[in-house]
Amino acid sequence: MSVATAPPPADLEDHLGFWLRRVSNHVSQGFQQRLAAEGVSVAEWVALRTLLARPGCRQGDLIEALGITKGAASKLVTRLEGKGLAERLAPDAAGREQRLALTAAGRARVPALAAQADANDARFFGHLPDAERAALLATLQALAAHHGMATLPTE
């Protein structure tokens, strides 16, 4: 009786996850460097963009959107306050949770940072035809939705 042998493992380059991680690492590192030159971290950028879209949101909303702990959110907001980009407002009507908002300087800063995000996207994806880029975006969005990936990437 012969013993069946297992097929050899697939090559590393045969895995979609390998290619996603490879591209993601380069895209993320490029964006991180662009933001660092502007004096902002990726987490700070995501928080700024979130606060622009949700002025006066509760800190809990920021925690939920970013998928971070209360302590991490507090440190993040403190850093943004220290840079003059965000502020803590009076607590909500129940008096339990602070509201957050961008300062005028924070609102003024977001467009320049968004331009860095656009430039980074153009650097890595600008060579793709519009249809391929749209298909890639739709595929990634479908994967995120299917797997319930609701929090925003901050690293």
Domains detected in the chain: 39-145 (1.10.10.10)
Is the pLDDT reported for residue 135 higher than 90? yes
What is the model's pLDDT at position 92?
65
Burial profile 97-128: b = 16 or more Cβ within 10 angstroms, e = fewer: eebbbbbeebbebbeebeebeeebeeeeeeee
Which pLDDT band holds residue 98 (cuts at 50, 70, 90)?
confident
* Beta-bridge mates of residue 58: 99
User: Are 47 and 80 within 8 A, CB to CB?
Assistant: yes
2-11, 16-25, 28-37, 51-60: range with lowest mean pLDDT: 2-11
- For the whole model, what pTM was predicted? 0.84
Weakest mean pLDDT among 22-31, 57-66, 117-126, 133-142 = 57-66
**Res 9 pLDDT > 70:** yes
- Per-residue model confidence (pLDDT) at position 14: 87
**2 pLDDT tier (thresholds 50, 70, 90):** low
94-97 long-range contacts, CB within 8 A, separation 24+: 97/58, 97/59, 97/60
Confidence check: pLDDT of 95 > 90: no
Torsions phi, psi for 25 (to 5 deg): -60, -45
Q: State the number of CA atoms in the 13 A half-sphere of 49 facing the CB.
A: 19
pLDDT at position 153 is 75
* Rounded average pLDDT over 80-98: 86
